[in-house]
Amino acid sequence: MRQSADPHALGPVLADLLGVPVELSELGRHELSLRALPNLAGPPDDPSVAVYLTDENGRGAQILLLFPLPDARALGDLMLGEGAGSEAILDACREVGNVIAGRFLSDLADLESGRLTPTTPVSTVDMAGAVISSVLANSPQGTSVLSLGIRMHAADRRIGATLILMRLGLAP
């Protein structure tokens, strides 16, 4: 899979959404096989907020964004104020996930001279390993995987996430 999207370019877009300056940094970018995914986002039993989107045009792109639970809470507090409830935290993660996923799908579509339109993001709170296993169950062999570690610095918070971009039908 050719690499796409520069996370640094998302800083101003996320700053508009969050209402504070945001600096994004990339902690690592890796092309992987499906077998390497289960432990990608840290220990498989760590609770995480997962945001999942696919391409509604059926062209085979999937994006999974995993926030460790403390980072998801920090994002919710930043967007919605201290003490945001669970549903509000999921909403905040879906909003940020939608921005990030939309950018990556747009860049991927540009590389392929096509159109990729993200579905409405869905989110859940579960163990990171369980979420990844669920996505793997629906991903055929030959799926190309790009993983990015992302860190957002906003206000006095550091929010980490792992983005997993899967493109069906292409081997890495």
Q: What is the mean pLDDT of the chain?
A: 78
Q: Which of 37-41, 43-47, 78-82, 95-99 has the highest mean pLDDT?
A: 95-99
Task: Spell out the residues 6+ positions from residue 6 whose beta carbon is closer than 8 angstroms to its own.
Answer: none
Residue 1 included in any domain:
no
Task: Give long-range contacts, CB 8 A cutoff, 24+ apart: 57-61.
Answer: 57/115, 57/116, 57/117, 59/114, 59/116, 60/167, 60/168, 60/169, 61/105, 61/108, 61/116, 61/165, 61/166, 61/167, 61/168
Q: How many domains does the chain have?
A: 1
pLDDT for 69: 93
The 10 Å Cβ neighbour count of residue 39 is 11
Residue 75 included in any domain:
yes
Instruction: Check residue 119 and report its DSSP letter.
Output: P
| Higher-pLDDT residue of 45, 8 | 45
Question: Average pLDDT, stretch 66-80?
Answer: 91
Residue 152 included in any domain:
yes
Residue 2 included in any domain:
no
Residue 172 included in any domain:
no
- Which residues form the domain of 104? 7-167
pLDDT for 73: 92
d(CA 61, CA 125) in angstroms, rounded, equals 22
- Share of residues in the chain with pLDDT > 70 (%): 77
Question: Average pLDDT, stretch 1-19?
Answer: 68
CB 115 within 8 A of CB 88: no
Q: Residue 35 burial (CB < 10 Å; 0-12/13-18/19+)? A: exposed
Paired tokens of 76: 């919710």
Residue 60 included in any domain:
yes
Residue 136 included in any domain:
yes
